[in-house]
A and B are shown apart, each in its own frame.
Chain A
Amino acid sequence: MTTSHSLRLLALHFAPLILFAALIAFFGIQSERFLTIANLINILTQSSHVAIIAIGMTFVLLVGGIDLSVGANMYLAVALLGLYLKSFPAVLSFPITIAFGLAFGVLNGLIITQLRVAAFITTLATLFVGRGLAIYCTGTKGVFFNQEILAIGRAAWFGVPSGIWALAAVFIVAFVVLRQTSFGREVYAVGADAEGAAKAGINVRRVLFAVYCIAGVCAAIGGIVSASQVAAAYSTFGLQKEFPVIAAAVLGGTSLFGGRGGVVGTVLGSVLIQTVGSGLVMLNANPYAYPLIISVIIFVAVFIDSQRTALLARLERRKVRVEA
């Protein structure tokens, strides 16, 4: 490997961090309110639900799969929470809601591993099924949550809002599972080479099934966090959430082709996207320009990922001769 290559690889590897630092510096210079503790906590709180769902998505992307149904899943789960679990205390209603999310993930996992339908198609279908079911249950009307849930949404411990605590908990569990368990290492192996993983004695179908379950659970947790913050879920709740979620994971260095990435980058990517949104508000930018700017950032992230993949492929190509 030549020096210029390794430098480029290093730059590409830390591209999200570099981008992140540059954006913070840019907004910090533009607006003095931006670099305050209160604003940073605000950004983190607002990004927490996307980050939680993106952590689940990271597992799916690591095996080379995709889950387009996370937004529908999060809407369906909180719709059920608001409609049917209103009288339950949170200690009961939250686990039941998460179980709904898990059931959704189980459905995805079963279709993908047992019926062998492509993940893209499966989750595209369950996206419509989930959203359709939620619309049917709510009659397109807004769903409201009880006072306890709203209190939890507003609560803060040691000055840190509940959403960030939820994110921290999910992050730590996900980080340990990916790094410190056999299952976590198997996720990376399956993503790198599913056939090789099967030869190495890994139950590939079980791993695939599990990651969709994890994505389902994370979608429901993200839904609860978001619902408790906004107090109501209208029919656009979670709509197209899959885009910022996948973008956050890719922005954080997780490859769409599987086998590479991790949850640290994903959290970073989620915060990055929120930072852009928040920074634009502070600059009083035209709100209609937000999607445009976010999409440019997402494009840059995907472009960097493809550059890195291409460079890695070039570096790994078999060398026929060694030039002096």
Chain B
Amino acid sequence: MSLSNSQAPILEIRGLRKSFSGVEVLHGVDFSLGHAQALGLVGENGSGKSTTMNILGGVFPSDGGTMRLNGREYVPTSPRDARANGVAFIHQELNLFKNLSIAENLFLGDFPRLGGKWPLINRRAALKRTAELLALVDLELSPSTPVGRLSQGERQLVEVAKALRTEARIIIFDEPTTSLTTRETERLFEIIERLKTQNIAIIYISHILGDVRRLCDDIVVLRDGAVVEALPTEMLTPERLISSMVGRTIDQLFPPRTSRPRAGEPVLTVQGLSQPGVIKDIAFTLQPGEVLGVSGLMGAGRSEMARILFGLDPHAKGDIIVDGQRLDEVSPRACIARGMAFLTEDRRGEGLLMEASVTDNIALPSLINYARGFAYIVDGKSLAGDARRASRTVLINAHDIDRTPAKHLSGGNQQKVVIAKWLLRNPRVFILDEPTRGIDVGAKYEVYKIINQLAADGAGVLLISSELEELLGMCDRILVMRRGEIRSMHQTSAFDRELILKSAMWDGLKEIAG
């Protein structure tokens, strides 16, 4: 471990361990952070970056190992405690209240009091201090502006001002630029450079390796819950960074595809699909048996496109053609009737009834197919039988699928329930939005097997994923989106995998980020 600063480190992490429900996800993470230093933390999804930072930020405790802050033992009991110790964690999802003003957001829970002891807020003092803090982050806004009126970039800077208010010595940024424009990103980087000159240490987490290399003095690479590299930036070439992050060949992670896309009429054709402010001129075709990947950064319009395809959001122009027939009315109901299925990005919020049993969840979209007679009474027996078969196909590990509520399942199994409920309808077109987000490697493999099976059965699969590796391992073609438009289309097989991985993760992502 090298330090760009000769002083003792401000933060030293040794042998940090953490397990979730019996599975160890951090196997002794070590690194240290110097004063006024910016440390880049990179790694694939699930490599343990977030877990490490959540422990540092007091979100949950570690199971072992030590953290020393300024040479003293540091065991944060809550995010508030971490902040009191000078560690500010700016989450990817900003923790701001849109209905409150900037000043109120900065001081929430700790307002200056009138006369020091009365319960009344000293509004003037709060506004004055907020104005000073906003000046430090170059925001020319009135402290009483509601946060709801600010842009994403401005909100990010308000979070920085919030950290400065509590006199943070370490500020953790988790993917701060995903929803920022280029200009806002530049502005944030200037502020980060300035923070370093004010002796504030930075931990910067990002998938955009170009940004990390530009901002950070040292880079720590995490893989599978352990540190694999910790070196000054100039010693880490982009090639070395990527190979350290991936660390294994892609072939072992993905089950082999046994089928090929079929020629003939596409199952899905999209022409000139546009919605002002969301997507523009989206056009592509999906062959039966094809897995088409959709790549792009968060906020590039991938999920928005999927929602429009499935009729959840409106579109102004364009045609959606399923099996050669144009959809006259694009609504979820019509889409389901035509054999489309949609696995949403937010399975808790949109895809699952958490209180209902596994069987009931699987049965839900198929109820009408099992309704008999003029009163549409549901044939419960045959439905339950088929639901059980569907759950066996996707291998849901639950003792009693008729009684176990969905909320008691692990993330991976919940995802499989959502897939199973659509499998019961034998979909022609399956849109999967981040199907493996937040689930473990084993469950991922099973989800991949289901996707391959779907393709082998002749369905067209649209796979939206932020993990390029996943797209490369699973897809026949990959389309890349940026700002609501399709930027490029790649034949996966035509490229050397290492090459596309390198270009996509490095220059590719930088290019997409614009």
Contact = CB atoms under 8 A, between A and B. Distances in A.
A-B interaction: yes
Contact of B278 (A185, A189, A193, A321): A321
Contacts of A181: 119-121
A322 B72 CA distance: 49
A7 interface: no
Interface of B: 78-80, 83, 95-100, 104, 108-111, 119-121, 123, 148, 179, 276-280, 299-301, 304, 483-485
Contact of A202 (B96, B109, B120, B280): B109
A32 interface: no
Contacts of A185: 100, 104, 108, 111, 121
A66 to B, nearest CB: 19
Contacts of A323: 276-277
A161 to B, nearest CB: 30
B155 to A, nearest CB: 12
Given A180-B120, A180-B121, A201-B80, A321 B484 contact: yes
The 3 closest A-B pairs by CB, nearest first: A201-B80, A320-B301, A321-B484
A180 B123 contact: yes
Contact of A201 (B109, B120, B148, B304): B109
21 contacts: A182-B111, A185-B100, A185-B104, A185-B121, A186-B108, A188-B97, A188-B99, A188-B104, A200-B80, A200-B95, A201-B80, A201-B110, A259-B99, A260-B99, A316-B98, A318-B179, A320-B277, A320-B279, A320-B300, A320-B483, A320-B484
B120 A316 contact: no
Contacts of A197: 97
Contacts of A189: 97, 100, 108
A189 B280 CA distance: 37
A201 B483 contact: no
Contacts of A175: none
B74 to A, nearest CB: 18
A176 B483 contact: no
Given A202-B109, A321-B301, A192 B100 contact: yes
Instruction: Output the residue of B95, B108, B119, B123 with the most chain A CB within 10 A.
Output: B108
Interface residues of A, number: 28
B172 to A, nearest CB: 14
Given A180-B121, A321-B280, 7 more contacts: A182-B109, A182-B110, A189-B108, A192-B98, A201-B83, A320-B279, A321-B277
A323 B123 CA distance: 39
B120 A176 contact: yes
Interface of A: 176, 180-183, 185-186, 188-189, 191-193, 196-197, 199-202, 259-260, 312, 316, 318-323
B276 A201 contact: no
B97 A196 contact: yes
B100 A188 contact: yes
Nearest to A193: B97
B95 A199 contact: yes
A200 B299 contact: no
B108 A202 contact: yes
Given A182-B111, A185-B104, A321-B483, A192 B99 contact: yes
Contact of B97 (A176, A182, A192, A312): A192
Contacts of B108: 185-186, 189, 200, 202
What DSSP secondary structure best describes chain B's contact surface? loop
Nearest to B123: A180
Nearest to A261: B99
A322 B109 CA distance: 36
A6 to B, nearest CB: 11
B299 A199 contact: no
Nearest to B300: A320
B99 A182 contact: no
Contacts of A202: 108-109
A239 B276 CA distance: 51
A318 B279 CA distance: 12
B109 A320 contact: no
B119 A316 contact: no
A133 to B, nearest CB: 33
B104 A196 contact: no
Given A181-B120, A259-B99, A320 B304 contact: yes
Nearest to B80: A201
Contacts of B110: 182, 201
Contacts of B100: 185, 188-189, 192
Contacts of A200: 79-80, 95, 108-109
Contacts of B300: 320
Given A182-B109, A320-B279, A323-B277, A201 B78 contact: yes
A181 to B, nearest CB: 5
Instruction: Output the residue of A189, A197, A321 with the most chain B CB within 10 A.
Output: A321
A202 B79 CA distance: 11
Instruction: Output the residue of A188, A318, A320 with the most chain B CB within 10 A.
Output: A320
A202 B107 CA distance: 12
Contacts of B120: 176, 180-181
A318 B300 CA distance: 10
Nearest to A189: B97
B144 to A, nearest CB: 12
Contacts of A312: 148
A316 B277 CA distance: 12
A319 B300 CA distance: 10
Nearest to A315: B148
A320 B278 contact: yes
Instruction: Output the residue of A176, A191, A259, A319 with the most chain B CB within 10 A.
Output: A319
Contacts of B104: 185, 188
A317 to B, nearest CB: 9
Instruction: Output the residue of A180, A185, A191, A199 with the most chain B CB within 10 A.
Output: A185
Contacts of B121: 180-182, 185
Given A185-B111, A201-B79, A202-B108, A320 B95 contact: no
Nearest to B148: A316
Nearest to B301: A320
Contacts of B79: 199-201
Contacts of B97: 188-189, 192-193, 196-197, 259
Contacts of B111: 182, 185
Contacts of B483: 320-321
A189 B98 CA distance: 9
Contacts of B148: 312, 316
Contacts of B96: 196
A147 B177 CA distance: 71
A180 B118 CA distance: 11
Contact of B119 (A182, A188, A192, A259): A182
A180 B111 CA distance: 10
Contacts of B301: 320-321
Contacts of B299: 318, 320
A21 B483 CA distance: 46
Nearest to A201: B80
A180 B125 CA distance: 13
B282 to A, nearest CB: 11
